[in-house]
């Protein structure tokens, strides 16, 4: 899931231009799970903005299933057209999709998009994937060295790993390669660590503009 957090209220208040009406739009998927942009957060932010921006006559809030999917944006048509500006509580992808779909409308981001990760426990999310476009999880026991190793090393730990901890933060950060070793040992697959991996081919990551995925089997 995409993990995000709400910008400081003072920053949100400051970015909203002079307007007579404002629409706050949440997203019911990723940012709802990380408690940053679901309908609950939309209602809370809307209430705060009504107090902070009394110069705006009408501030309304709503939410859609996914802001990053055009099929769900049609239901916003009437509400968006009635607003002078839109404050999106989605990830960066959702903000951009909303802005593209309603071209000519001011669309502002209420959140900072942080990373792709997992929900470890209540109120705790951790980055799991960089979206590098060249997954090696089959070789590393399902633990990503590019994400879990602080230095992104691909052929084992650095000299700073000690007692299973990373030198970057030995109190709280586990060594990614120690985790990989233990996982592979438990799976009886330590032989995969003997394969020397070449330098990362970053051309499959963010290089040369936005990446695209086109599935010919589902194109209309």
CB-based contacts of 27, cutoff 8 Å, min separation 6 = 37, 38, 63, 64, 65, 66, 67, 68, 88, 89, 90, 91, 94
Q: Which two tokens stand for residue 44?
A: 């809370």
pTM: 0.87
* Calpha distance 112→130 (Å, rounded): 17
Per-residue model confidence (pLDDT) at position 72: 97
User: Domain spans of the chain?
Assistant: 2-114, 130-204
Q: 2-114 belongs to which CATH class?
A: alpha beta
Per-residue model confidence (pLDDT) at position 208: 65
Per-residue model confidence (pLDDT) at position 220: 57
* Number of residues in the chain: 220
Which residues pair with residue 102 across a beta bridge? none
* Calpha distance 164→178 (Å, rounded): 6
Q: Decide: 54 and 23 in contact? Cβ < 8 Å.
A: no
Residue with the two structure tokens 């990503």: 144
Per-residue model confidence (pLDDT) at position 55: 97
pLDDT along the chain (220 residues), means of 10: 96 97 97 96 98 97 97 96 98 97 96 94 92 90 94 93 94 95 96 87 71 69
Residue 54 CA to chain centroid, in angstroms? 32
Per-residue model confidence (pLDDT) at position 205: 73
Per-residue model confidence (pLDDT) at position 200: 77
């Amino acid at each position: 899931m995409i993990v995000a957090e709400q910008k400081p209220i003072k920053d949100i208040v400051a970015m909203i231009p002079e307007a007579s009406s404002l629409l706050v739009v949440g997203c019911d998927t990723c940012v709802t799970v990380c408690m940053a942009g679901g309908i609950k957060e939309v209602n809370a932010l809307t209430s705060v903005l009504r107090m902070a921006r009394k110069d705006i006559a009408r501030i309304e809030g709503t939410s859609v299933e996914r802001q990053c999917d055009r099929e769900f944006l049609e239901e916003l048509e009437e509400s968006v057209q009635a607003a002078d500006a839109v404050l999106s509580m989605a990830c960066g992808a959702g903000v951009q999709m909303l802005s593209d779909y309603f071209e000519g409308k001011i669309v502002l981001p209420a959140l900072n998009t942080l990373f792709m990760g997992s929900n470890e426990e209540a109120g705790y999310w951790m980055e799991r994937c960089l979206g590098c476009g060249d997954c090696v999880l089959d070789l590393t026991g399902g633990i990503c060295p590019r994400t879990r190793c602080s230095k992104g090393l691909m052929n084992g730990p650095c000299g700073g790993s000690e007692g299973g901890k990373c030198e970057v933060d030995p109190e709280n950060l586990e060594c990614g390669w120690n985790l990989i070793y233990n996982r592979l040992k438990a799976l009886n697959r330590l032989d995969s660590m003997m394969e020397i991996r070449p330098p990362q081919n970053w051309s499959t990551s963010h290089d040369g503009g936005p990446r695209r995925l086109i599935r010919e089997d589902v194109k209309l």
